[in-house]
Amino acid sequence: MKILVVHQYYLLPGASGGSRFNEMARLWAEAGHDVTVIAGTVNYLTGKMPERYRGRWIVQEQDGAVKVLRCHVADSYNKGYKGRTWAFVSFMLSAASAVFRIERPDVVIATSPPLTVAPVGWAAAHKFRRPVPWIFEVRDLWPESAITTGVLRANSALARCLYALEQFAYRSATRINALTPAFKEVIVQRGLAKPEKITVISNGADLDNFRPGPRDNAVRREFGWAERTVFLYAGAHGKANSLMQLIDAGERLRDRTDILIACAGDGPEREMLQAEVRIRNLQNILFCGAQPKSRMCDFVNAADAGVALLQKNPTFRTVYPNKVFDYMACERPTLLAIDGVARKLVCDEAAAGVFAEPENPDALAAAICYLADNPAIRGEMGRRGREWVHANASRTALAEQYLDVLAEVARK
């Protein structure tokens, strides 16, 4: 089967960030399928573009057996609201031109955000005299999440355009894949698609790359964590992530010298957050910066617990954060400050973590102390998390489920 994926955030080689489709594409190619990806040239965490892409509209390269067409993204990605908007539009234009370089696929997947991948997915499916089926994947509810986080005004001209684009994507796609059951419920409730048109294939963990390992490893020694109990946040440092609540919790734990909060990743708010830590003279919070994907397993294993948190926002009650699957795969408990379906999965179904109310630093600090003071409970949660991921969310199993959907759609 020939599979075309349109994914602006398909990871650059060695980059940090969400690698869902890098792993899916690799597994599909290893299973004998012909996989092509239309991707962007800017790392979404750092906003940086490798020099080899500068001044070039489309660059063709290989990611193992996967063919990748890297398409121009304006380097304004991390330069505010207008800069990011232009980066999305620039990718839509360059990716649309890349469509003319592809051979006829059997099925197309366009994964959002940003919503601007939808016209590219549609164009790739309808370029040929006999259109091919296409799947619109929803990794986040746009533009709703941008509005509820305060990035976008609800009644702005751009918001209205995005709502129109959202309707186009849901109605024109052959099939919709939602990453959580809650996404599916919202889509159906809003009348954007019928339930039978929507499948749910969630995020998961690559159990080959994320597995339990020694706590005393090279990462722990490099950063001087010694015997402190380390709580690791691994992910984006943006407005939606609301990492200031970690700093506020750290201030309440100033006297707990045995506890360290480590943040691995990057994003537009990282410099501001680091400056705030310096102003408050906090010695219990460390920013490690963006790390290559190849090191993240060692980072998680060097920690004693993983942290997943977002803004207190009703939209985020519908999301599964990628990082919790990686924490569970490495047998580390999760401190979760996200309510809704993530809480149900981590704390109820998997019994692999503790919940703290989002944007409540007192609750967050209390949960940190609870886990720090109970190593036996941490161990039990970690073991249950690994068992749950192995049974329900291995990337290999999810890739096979996705292939079944692709084959069904392609046949029809």
- ∠ at Cα 231 (229, 233), nearest 5°? 160
What residue ranges define each of the domains in the chain, with the CATH number in brackets? 2-204+394-411 (3.40.50.2000), 218-392 (3.40.50.2000)
Q: How do 34-40 and 66-71 pair as beta strands?
A: parallel
Stretch among 204-208, 308-312, 325-329, 401-405 having the lowest mean pLDDT: 204-208
The two three-digit tokens of residue 121, written as one number: 């997915």
pLDDT at 129 over 90: no
In tens, the pLDDT along 203-247 reads: 888 898 899 999 999 999 999 999 999 999 999 998 889 999 999
**What is residue 155's predicted lDDT score, i.e. its pLDDT?**
84
How far is Cα 378 from Cα 38, in angstroms, rounded to an integer? 41
Paired with 110 in beta bridges are 6, 136
**What is residue 384's predicted lDDT score, i.e. its pLDDT?**
98
Paired with 38 in beta bridges are 6, 69
Where on the phi/psi map is residue 105: left (φ > 0), alpha (ψ -120 to 50), or beta? beta
Q: What is the mean pLDDT of the chain?
A: 93
In tens, the pLDDT along 34-59 reads: 999 999 999 887 778 899 999 999 99
Alpha carbon separation from 95 to 12, 28, 29, 323 (Å, rounded): 16, 22, 22, 28
